[in-house]
A and B are shown apart, each in its own frame.
Chain A
Amino acid sequence: MRTSESIKEEEIEVLTFRINQARFAVDLDEVYELIELDQANQRECDTVRFEEEFMFGNISIHYISPKVLLRKSSASSGILIDQVSEICKISIDCIKPLPDLVKKFNRTRIWGTTLIEQEIVYLIDLQ
């Protein structure tokens, strides 16, 4: 089996964090900056809660240690994320597409999964 030639990178660097019990990761290539809440207020940037921006349905989430993530694609508006844990490299071979049914019914911008320390991590498309 031939691998696609359109992607040359063997690994991506991701920022991981937790919302509720679930662990998420975003590609650092799409991240502009990670700032504190009061910095975001000083800069007067609009901040949207993670679950609202990524359409996780009607759930109320209590944030424990919120931070604001600024995207390269729209650096003036921030996304509230929680419990930022680490930046790590993940091999592209270790990224799995979502299971069939989840892919079919998923309304969020989760595009794949990977395992970090045997824990399931959802990859989120920031753009």
Chain B
Amino acid sequence: MPSKKKSRKILEAIEEKQIETTADVNLASVKLVIFTLLNGYYAFQGESIKEILPTSKINVVPGVPNFILGVINVRGDIESVININDFLGLPEQNSENDKNIIIAEGAGIRSGILVSSVEDVMDFPEASIQPPLSSLNEKIKPFVIGETDYKKKNVTVLNVQEIFKNISAN
């Protein structure tokens, strides 16, 4: 009888290979990735965003909660794709119209987030980010850093780390 399962050994070996050191980066300006979800404008802070992809075929994973839409192949790496609407108190969207997947990292989690479309990536002066309005829904409040304007539209700036933290505490 082997002492350890073979699959366990293989997993340990590949996980060991994947351990990388991540360097802390101090950003002078606030880079925002602006995107839409349903009809609203939102933004993530650039440092948590690793990549922006067009949507591709999402492979369903059996046995996971509904908010995990599945996995995608990104140049040989497998990334999960999630729907964050429910966590933000938004209605479930019709994902057929969604054009982008944002790959984000935070709270020890890396995942893709399905959004309607990414509109822009740009630097904002820190002063332009205002405290959030009190009229926001209760569900989204813990994730909101502040608000800013983009092309005369109100943009809600979200904290990906907090979203991921909340998801993994579920």
Convert B44-68 into 0s and 1s, putting 1 for each residue whose CB lies closer than 8 angstroms to a CB of A: 0000000000000001111111001
Contact of B109 among A6, A55, A95, A100 (CB under 8 A): A100
Q: How far is the CA of A95 from the CA of B9 in the complex (A)?
A: 12
* Min CB–CB distance A94 → chain B (angstroms): 8
Within 8 A of B (CB), among A25-76: 27, 29-30, 51, 54-57, 59
Q: Given the complex, which residues of B lie within 8 Å of A98, measured CB to CB?
A: 78
B16 / chain A contacts, CB cutoff of 8 Å = 1-4
Count A-side interface residues using an 8 Å CB cutoff: 44
B167 & A4 in contact (Cβ 8 Å cutoff): no
CB closest chain-A residue, reference B73: A120
Within 8 A of A (CB), among B112-170: 167-168, 170
Q: Which 7 A-B pairs have the closest CB atoms?
A: A99-B80, A108-B63, A4-B13, A56-B62, A7-B9, A100-B109, A107-B63
Q: Is the CB of A29 within 8 A of B63?
A: no
